[in-house]
Structure 1
């Protein structure tokens, strides 16, 4: 079959998928995969849960807040990292199985529940050299436990003030320096966040705004978040936190009311400030159809959303040949994917849907695909098909891997999806002439639970 005849045959075979477009340009095929219109439970973003135990009950909770009492982690200075590990293992059990990671925060005072200071540290005395010394030592222990823990997404610096929100009292300048220096020194891999945009001004932290878009705090937060110091911080550090419904002028009387009646305003603020994740709001009534529909729109706006616009590749190769692949990815969300997760290309067995060959794109940093930045998702790579690859027809597929496990984890917003996390693009014939064929049936990416 000559190339022109093959192109006609391919177009006929794909006619049953009107959202799918394919065409030839010289020795490559260009595929424009069908976009997926629904919200996805993708990692490191979105409507998070308020605690690890509730994450499995919420449709988008790939993030879970983990509040940890200092006195549970350390009863006295004699306790080491083993105790921290035991407490975290108990609280975070099962999160790998539902592809959820935690955002931990250590606190000392939680009204009205009580105070949770270690027995050998004077309660309420944040202003002493002893507290500063112990805070630095605690951060060292936390770094040893969490900095390489794949269950940890981002870390809220916490520690000081009511609920670990760094107010009542606000950390002094000297305490901010001690804590800030300690977090930077002990967390080389995890991204960090502090509560107020006017604090920790010398540190590259993101913000956890625990009264997001609250009328009373907009007056102080908005000018700072849009100041030269912080206006681009979202590109390198996460902006998160939660909405609040227990004081002042909230977004609604409760999460359901906020999602049903104020979704447009919430989404506008998310996009304006490039917000990555929000809690509390996720507790909307899942039996309310309007709340469910609007929550999906909010989930789509939060964090990253990678739409696979175009893929180019050769439809036929021989074993040992070069396999050039070009992609165009658009981030239609509000923030980056904050860690450099590998982008996999594979050739799948058409029957088992398992990789016969797989590798990752070299020198590709998915963190650079920013919303609103044209061309930031244009990627190109030249691979070599293994010489031992048997002749046959394979499905070229793409996947974003969690580096902790090497398993597919983050999904593209395309309906071309196979259960398990890979996205089929089109057929590649290895060691034999190309032949046109429709792709196998797709699976719904929103109905699949991944793990790491």
Structure 2
């Protein structure tokens, strides 16, 4: 500290007066207030913020329900288990009313009903569902499209299997998928779309009429399958797609898979189980970018979560291993209607809830830091995030941070460039963004991903401070933000 010399000299020439001890002390205090910043000028919290110290964030329980993950019921209102999605089928002829003409009312009704219950939809269209009336558009049948009648799968001749090589049918499917994508790609009411269309139930097989179970093969040729795949991947660039079986034809495409015989025909060793097909097609790592879902095999939904588990071996090679199947497939969601109707009770219910929570992602923020930004009045917020689940989150929903005042009211919100899809299991990331432009003071910093479906289930973190300040927000901590 250097005092002004001229001022010092003028002070020395003043007549001297005897000063009391109290006056000397008071003068010294006043002098120090002039030259030393006060606590209100440079708060301790701000000094700590600029030091880059990490503030740990305590872990918490897994969220009861996570968007686009966990067990899923058939569409309807159920309260027996938390969930975020609902499943349904639709026949193609519910939408395709003529050559190049479409009526989307039935799909809209389903999507709106599900969204109204705060959920997102996963579904598929079919042409042939054993035991249900045909889904083939009437104009194609009237034009002479060939079909096969069958009694398999308790069909008793109700539905028919179409000639998948008829160019009129293939062209109609391509036109339908193009119109479908143009209208619904990126629709926030939709979680995932299964390609469907081909085979029994839209499951891309016609067993036993497949050349293996019996000499004739009714299923679509490789060329027809390729045209359907190409139509879907061209029409849907935002909404995630799934197809039934991994194979060389879909290996390089932006499509995931659905194992509809989960925990029975899943684990490898038989040669044709789901993981066998992943290995044979070289797609074992595709879960890192494309979702895996499916259906818990119906015959074991009653018993798989009992303690002890007493499920019978319903076919040679059946694994009955739920947790092993989850680990091997990295599944995000499974249709398990038994969990919702009639539902489970007691320990079986507790086991089923834990099993549902084991599917998909589980985000946890482990620490955050606030440091002085490059621009005056701005701060850099950095958050460490880990994924303790078995799969990524496959959409990049917007991630917001916010500053809340002492009353819990948000003063300002910032939308970041952070990517949820980049947080892979076992690979922690650090997210960084700039915050500022608020009156100087202490604020509670918050963070949340934003579900594009306004009524949808919030994406919550497995942290003790989740929902602590505001519902749907993760509380990071209280920090000082400087003046702009």
| TM norm structure 1 | 0.79
| TM norm structure 2 | 0.74
Asked if 1:354 is matched to 2:431, the reply is no
5+ residue gaps, structure 2, are 1-37, 148-161, 207-217, 312-319
Kept in 2: contact 1:408–1:420 (CA 8 A): no
Give the corresponding residue for 2:461: 412
Kept in 2: contact 1:259–1:281 (CA 8 A): no
Q: CA deviation at 1:29?
A: 4.7
Q: Which protein has the larger Cα radius of gyration, Structure 1 or Structure 2?
A: 2
Count of residues in correspondence between the two structures:
396
Give the corresponding residue for 1:444: none
Give the corresponding residue for 1:366: 420
- What CA distance in whole angstroms lies between the structure 2 residues aligned with 1:354 and 1:292? 38
Q: Which moved more, 1:26-35 or 1:289-298?
A: 26-35
Give the corresponding residue for 2:436: 385
- What CA distance in whole angstroms lies between the structure 2 residues aligned with 1:119 and 1:112? 18
Indicate which of 207, 220, 227 corresponds to 2:257: 207
Give the corresponding residue for 1:192: 241
- What CA distance in whole angstroms lies between the structure 2 residues aligned with 1:406 and 1:349? 26
Indicate which of 352, 373, 381 corresponds to 1:295: 352
Distance 1:60 1:229, change over 3 A: farther
Give the corresponding residue for 2:369: 312
- Provide the aligned C-alpha RMSD in A: 3.1
- What CA distance in whole angstroms lies between the structure 2 residues aligned with 1:328 and 1:384? 17
Indicate which of 277, 280, 305 corresponds to 1:259: 305
Give the corresponding residue for 1:136: 174
Distance 1:93 1:430, change over 3 A: same
- What CA distance in whole angstroms lies between the structure 2 residues aligned with 1:24 and 1:282? 53
Give the corresponding residue for 1:441: none
Distance 1:398 1:274, change over 3 A: same
Give the corresponding residue for 2:70: 46
Deviations 1:110-164 (A, max 9, x none): 1112322111113522221111111101111211222031111111110011111
- What CA distance in whole angstroms lies between the structure 2 residues aligned with 1:267 and 1:60? 20
Deviations 1:292-327 (A, max 9, x none): 22122212221111011111125x99x962221111
5+ residue gaps, structure 1, are 11-22, 247-251, 433-452
Deviations 1:52-76 (A, max 9, x none): x24x435332122221111111232
- What CA distance in whole angstroms lies between the structure 1 residues aligned with 2:196 and 2:410? 43
Q: CA deviation at 1:393?
A: 2.7
Asked if 1:152 is matched to 2:190, the reply is yes
- What CA distance in whole angstroms lies between the structure 1 residues aligned with 2:333 and 2:292? 7
Q: Which moved more, 1:406-415 or 1:135-144?
A: 406-415
Distance 1:406 1:354, change over 3 A: farther
Kept in 2: contact 1:320–1:385 (CA 8 A): no
Indicate which of 100, 110, 118 corresponds to 1:91: 110
Distance 1:161 1:360, change over 3 A: same
Kept in 2: contact 1:211–1:217 (CA 8 A): no
Give the corresponding residue for 1:107: 126
Q: Which moved more, 1:104-113 or 1:408-417?
A: 408-417
Asked if 1:77 is matched to 2:77, the reply is no
Distance 1:406 1:394, change over 3 A: farther
